[in-house]
Homo-oligomer: A and B are copies of this chain.
Amino acid sequence: VRKVSIIGVGQTRFGNLKDMTLKDMIAEAGNEAVKDAGVPKQEIQELFVGNFAAANFNNQNHIAPYAGSVLGLAGIPCTHYEGACASGGLALRQAIITVASGARDVVMVLGVEKMNSLDTGGVTTVLSQAGDWEEEAMLGLTFPSVFSLIACRHMHEFGTTREHLAQVAVKNHANGMKNPKAHMQKLITIETALNSKRVAEPLGLYDCSLISDGAAALILCAADVADRYPGKPVDVIGYGQASDIFTIYRKDNLTSIGAAVRAGQEAYSMAGITPADVDLAEVHDCFTIAEIVAIEDLGFVAKGEGGPATAAGFTAMDGEKPVNTSGGLKSKGHPVGATGVAQVIEIVNQLRGTAGERQVKGAEIGLTHNVGGSGATCVVHIMKRRA
């Protein structure tokens, strides 16, 4: 099995991109990644596309060869991967497996979503199809409700507070201020978060991630051919994917995402590291409570300690284990299919030392954690700076 490196990254700004079509976003992110890698387009052998619901948002399905044509890549295999909010991470994992298998040397991974074509109610309905329609979504259990249940149970079991949740939002908004590609460029205080409009108790407006448009792309190659191209390589040293019971009412435990625990363990084991070896991480903070659960599931802190650790600055930009330096889904934005790819871009920038104002000094190992639905899918990737 060959080692795999990431040698190029490209990303649109995330936001309500009224002036950009789906094609515009694909072209901008994809072409920027190609340029960054310095790979001639004709050497790209396969395209892996992560997208959740362009069929619903944009009347456009079969989106992989659609993107391939936009990027001038028609001819090569183009495949669309869907795993709700983890779609981008799934596309990346299969790309890594395909290169590692020896089948391809150089490939592109692209994540894209244009969500602001619908109003908030429409988006909520489309997103709810990532849960079980018959048994949950149709009955009103949309994602704010799902994560409100998770938050309530976490508070009940571990004494997590609304202030802890608000600390996640304050931190990620501060980080997003330093990211020119972030959707939300706005500092907030604990009070702003606590007093915001209620969405699903105990979650308020600032506990929720954003409805964003955006695209993100990576160029991957076999580590042993990375020297052929000018793009500065970052090595993939581990990855894991797992699923969980689809409906949350059938789960034994609401305060942990089993798929995240398993995906993390698989990735750590492959990389031969422990959670303590991870210098920084991008985790799936679709809601503030999700970041608290994530840092516990990934073993960065003990179960139940996510809230206090956040309040103590453990995950701050200058903390022991910076989390979501990009601003996270909360502030960078959450164009669903692009999210898992954009998380990796932040880690690549950090490990290359090109994260600008957000740079974490001495970062050597970074992790991404990308969750789909109410946790039925999780994929984790671990990257390492090349010496």
A: residues with CB less than 8 A from B are 1, 21, 47, 52-53, 55-56, 58-66, 68-69, 73-84, 90, 93-94, 97-98, 100-103, 126, 129-134, 137-138, 241-247, 250, 258-259, 262, 372-373, 376-377, 379
Contacts and interface: CB of A to CB of B under 8 A. Distances in A.
Given A69-B247, A97-B101, A79 B241 contact: yes
A75 B258 contact: yes
Max chain B Cβ within 10 angstroms of own Cβ: one of A66, A79, A126, A262: A79
A363 to B, nearest CB: 28
- Interface pairs A-B: 6 shortest CB-CB: A101-B101, A65-B376, A69-B246, A77-B241, A62-B84, A61-B129
B56 A56 contact: yes
Contacts of A73: 243
Q: What is the total number of copies of this protein in its complex?
A: 2
Instruction: Determine the main DSSP class of A at the interface with B.
Output: mixed
A167 to B, nearest CB: 30
A244 B61 CA distance: 16
A74 B243 contact: yes
11 contacts: A59-B133, A61-B84, A64-B82, A65-B83, A65-B244, A68-B243, A68-B246, A68-B376, A75-B242, A76-B243, A77-B241
A202 to B, nearest CB: 26
Nearest to A135: B23
Contact of A83 (B21, B64, B376): B64
Given A62-B83, A75-B242, 10 more contacts: A21-B134, A53-B61, A55-B55, A55-B56, A59-B133, A60-B129, A62-B131, A62-B372, A65-B372, A81-B81
A377 B78 contact: yes
B94 A79 contact: yes
Nearest to A102: B1
A104 to B, nearest CB: 9
A84 B258 CA distance: 31
Contacts of A74: 243-246, 376
A102 B66 CA distance: 31
Nearest to A129: B61
Contact of A129 (B62, B84, B376): B62
A145 to B, nearest CB: 16
Nearest to A46: B241
A78 B373 CA distance: 13
Contacts of A262: 75
Contacts of A138: 59
Contacts of A69: 243, 245-247, 250, 376
